[in-house]
Chain A
Amino acid sequence: MVTTDEKGPLTAKKKSVIIRSCDGDEFLVSESAAVLSTSLKKILEEKEDRLIHLSDIDNKTLAMVIAYLSTHADDGLSDDLKRSFDQEFVSGKEFDVLKYLVLATDTLQVTCLCYTVAKKMADIMKNKLVEWVRREFDIQNDYTPEAEAEIRRLDAWAWDDRQLEDD
């Protein structure tokens, strides 16, 4: 737990932790930002040591998550600004970046960001042909043609492909 006893608010505010990625790089993060991640908060409550090693999150992904946490921990920013930051944060990001980000936010339990990234991933998949999704995400179709035809027959309403995109 954070103790704010004899030091006063100024020192308490400046408290920071060091987070190390799986590539070995270290990031200095304010404690108020780190505790927005439920997992980091739990770790910090349990140990004295202010160094946290994340063995399955790489540099690039960790830097993004930390930028997000720091923005959301900034009391000087209005909720509106934070919301538009969130929008900007995922816009234009490739699926290859998002997929590591979504896993990292899941591991770190940053629920809001995890949801924002999942939503962005859904936006990429929305209104696309099944063939497009399989191709784009390397999903191996292991149905027999008969089994696939049977599913298409069962949910016939869902397979009208007229409004769907293939690019």
Chain B
Amino acid sequence: MKGNTVRSESDFITNLPNNIIDNILGCLPLRDVVRTSILSREWRYKWTSCPDIVFDFWFDQMFLGGHKLEPLIYQILKLHKGPLLKFALQVPDLKSNPDIDQWVRLLPNNTLQDLTLHVSRGETHNLTSHLFTFQHFRNLKLYNCVFDPIPGFKGFNKLVNLELQRVALCARNLREDLVEHGAPEKLPVSLNMLKTLHLSDMYFEKIEETSCAICFIRSCPNLQRLKITAFTFDVVDSVADFLRSQRSSESLTQLKTVKMQLFSGIEAEMEFVKYLLASATALEEMTITPTPVALPMEESRY
């Protein structure tokens, strides 16, 4: 076979075009990526253009050993050169601390498409305003952070997936005409690209949380799939009243499927479903899965 004879047979992999090497590096765990630096002199800095940097549970548990994570994240981000597309920080026991902002400031706001920040312990983390300068986010996942946009924030207009868990939506700089229930009627920017939204652990007994959910849903005119995992214990009448008072939204015309999980059937949840049914004119499928009933309760009646 004579194909690809231009390249020498030996050490084929070193001679691959850089974009292919970057693709390969992007599919390797971070430790293996850094380890390529020792293969040969030509490989010394190849890893620094790896498009993905992921510090995950696996990395923390398997590879870190006795080494400290913080200086390592800093060192890797300082050395990185190529266009970084993805940065994920989801190690166990990550506490809110100023280092996180320092790392975020090292991320390139003109290339990064995918950001995951999972602050798993301690206080809700106040994110650096640098976050709002990123122009290319397609996937954004934040856990236990405060989302407080800077004045003049125009939105992430390429966003396709947004996942917020235990995130405080700060209305201070969003709009002035809103704050009756803790969230604006709509976000000041519409999340045009967003097609899938998953609201998990949703407390239907908290009016702030319910109003945030409605605010988000209204701000996604092209939303197609909505999933809500409820997490409700108490019945709070004011939440049902609040939901009843909401006008149906005209911006849900693309919504096709709704999944509601761990549904307990309280009035607030029922009102929420009514709200969706009234608003989503193109809805094709709604699946409601109830909270599993605890059987012993049933037996104790006899």
- Residues 209-252 of chain B: 1 if any A CB is under 8 Å from the residue's CB, otherwise 0? 00000000000000000000000000000000000000000000
Q: How far is the CA of A14 from the CA of B279 in the complex (A)?
A: 44
As a 0/1 sequence over residues 16 to 31 of chain A, the CB contacts with chain B under 8 angstroms (1 = contact) are 0000011100000000
A142 interface residue (CB < 8 Å to B): yes
When the two chains form the complex, which single residue of B16, B36, B63 contacts A157, counting CB atoms closer than 8 Å?
A: B63
Interface residues of A in 78-128 (CB under 8 A from B): 99-100, 102-104, 106, 114-115, 118-119, 121-123, 125-128
Contact A158 B35 (CB under 8 A): yes
Query: Who on chain A is nearest to B31 by CB?
Result: A158
Contact with A along B35-65 (1 / 0, CB 8 A): 1111111111000000000000000001111
A122 near B27 with CB under 8 A, answer: yes
A42 at the interface (CB under 8 A from B): no
A100 in complex: contacting residue of B4, B11, B25, CB < 8 Å: B4
Q: What's the nearest-Cβ distance from chain B to residue A104, in Å?
A: 8
Assess the B11–A137 pair: CB atoms within 8 A. yes
With A23-B1, A103-B16 as contacts: A143 and B31 at CB distance below 8 Å: no
Interface: B72 (CB within 8 A): yes
Tell yes or no: B296 within 8 A of A by CB. Answer: no
Asked whether, in the complex, the Cβ of B40 is within 8 Å of the Cβ of A163, the reply is no
**In this assembly, does B83 line the interface, its C-beta being within 8 Å of a C-beta of chain A?**
no
Q: Which residues of B contact A49 (CB under 8 A)?
A: none
Instruction: Kindly list chain B residues whose C-beta atoms are within 8 Å of the C-beta of A67.
Output: none
Contact yes or no, B24 A139, CB < 8 A: no
Q: CB-CB < 8 A to B41: which residues of A?
A: 142-143, 147
Measured between alpha carbons, how far is A62 from B9 in the docked complex, in Å? 19
* Interface residue count on the B side (C-beta < 8 Å): 40
Q: Is B2's beta carbon under 8 Å from chain A? A: yes
Contact present for B11 and A118 (CB under 8 Å) = no
Beta-carbon contact of B27 and A141 below 8 Å = no
Question: Which residues 243-291 of B have a CB within 8 angstroms of A?
Answer: none
0 or 1 for each of A59-88: is its CB under 8 Å from B? (1 = yes) = 111000000000000000000000000000
- Which of these, A99, A115, A128, contacts B13 with CB under 8 Å? A99
- Does any Cβ of B come within 8 Å of A34's Cβ? no
Contacts of A152 in B (CB 8 A): 38
Scan B1-16; emit 1 where CB is below 8 A from any A CB, else 0. 1111010001111101
Measured between beta carbons, the chain B residues less than 8 angstroms from A151 are: 37-38, 44
Given known contacts A141-B40, A157-B63, A119 and B6 CB-to-CB distance under 8 angstroms = no
Residue of B nearest to A130 (CB): B38
Task: Report chain A residues within 8 Å CB of B32.
Answer: 125-128
Say how far B269's CB is from chain A's closest CB, in angstroms: 32
Q: Is the CB of A123 within 8 A of B27?
A: yes
Which of B4, B28, B29 counts the most A-chain CB atoms under 10 A from its CB? B4
Which residue of chain B has its CB nearest to the CB of A161? B35
Chain A residues with Cβ under 8 A from B27's Cβ? Answer: 118-119, 121-123
Give bound CA distance, A36 to B268, whole Å: 49
Does any Cβ of B come within 8 Å of A133's Cβ?
yes
Known: A61-B3, A103-B16, A127-B29. 11 other contacts (CB 8 A): A21-B3, A23-B1, A58-B4, A118-B26, A133-B39, A139-B39, A140-B10, A143-B38, A157-B65, A158-B34, A158-B35
Show 18 residue pairs from A and B whose CB-CB distance is below 8 angstroms, ordered by the A residue: A21-B3, A57-B4, A102-B16, A122-B26, A123-B27, A125-B24, A128-B32, A134-B39, A134-B40, A137-B11, A137-B12, A137-B14, A139-B39, A140-B40, A151-B44, A158-B34, A160-B63, A160-B65
- Which residues of B pack against A, CB within 8 Å? 1-4, 6, 10-14, 16-17, 19-20, 23-29, 31-32, 34-44, 62-65, 67, 72
